[in-house]
Amino acid sequence: MRPGSMAKTAEQPRERFTNFTPYEMKKGEEYMSAEMLEHFKDLLLQWKQELMEEVDRTMHHMQEDAANYADPSDRATQEEEFSLELRTRDRERKLIKKIDQTIDRIDKDDYGFCDQCGVEIGIRRLEARPTATLCIDCKTLAEIRERQTGI
Ligand SMILES: [Zn+2]
């Protein structure tokens, strides 16, 4: 296999998981009911599974692809691709860790409320970003502060 064949897999880890059915709240259902927590746990587990398969696939791919190229420019291209891959894998691993922490919070029934102000984060926001720990207002504020202080 020539270097360059890996370009397709060198993409961003999936920051979002979209392969699920949006949760429909029943009439009178309480926010973060047992059923709702189950929905988010399922979603996170599936997302994690998908990410782990991606990591496996790439590691396997890299081993197969680690040929010795006689041409130095081929070697350089391959090294570049590998380091890009590794950075992506690193981000994926961090994301998996975050997913694990979130599942932990679901198990402790400490999920779906803003860490900062305590309001409901909201089902739709959590479905778009299941690892969110802040409501949209606090998140926006945190991002503004981040930009200002450069932390
Ligand atoms: Zn908040």
- pLDDT per position as a tens digit, 117-149: 999 999 999 999 999 999 999 999 999 999 988
H helix count then E strand count, the chain: 4, 0
Across 14-26, average pLDDT:
83
Alpha-carbon distance 135 to 108, whole Å?
A: 19
- pLDDT per position as a tens digit, 43-76: 999 999 999 998 888 777 777 776 667 778 888 8
Alpha-carbon distance 38 to 36, whole Å?
A: 5
Alpha-carbon distance 89 to 82, whole Å?
A: 10
Tell me if 90 sits within 8 A of 99, measured CB to CB.
no
pLDDT for the residue 151: 59
Domains and CATH numbers, the chain: 31-111 (1.20.120.910), 112-150 (no CATH)
pLDDT for the residue 60: 77
pLDDT over 80 (residue 5): no
Tokens of 88: 């992506």
The Å distance, Cα 50 to ligand 1 centre, comes to 30
| Length of the chain as a residue count | 151
The Å distance, Cα 89 to ligand 1 centre, comes to 31
Residues marked as binding for Zn(2+)?
114, 117, 135, 138
DSSP state of 108: T
Residue corresponding to tokens 């009178």: 28
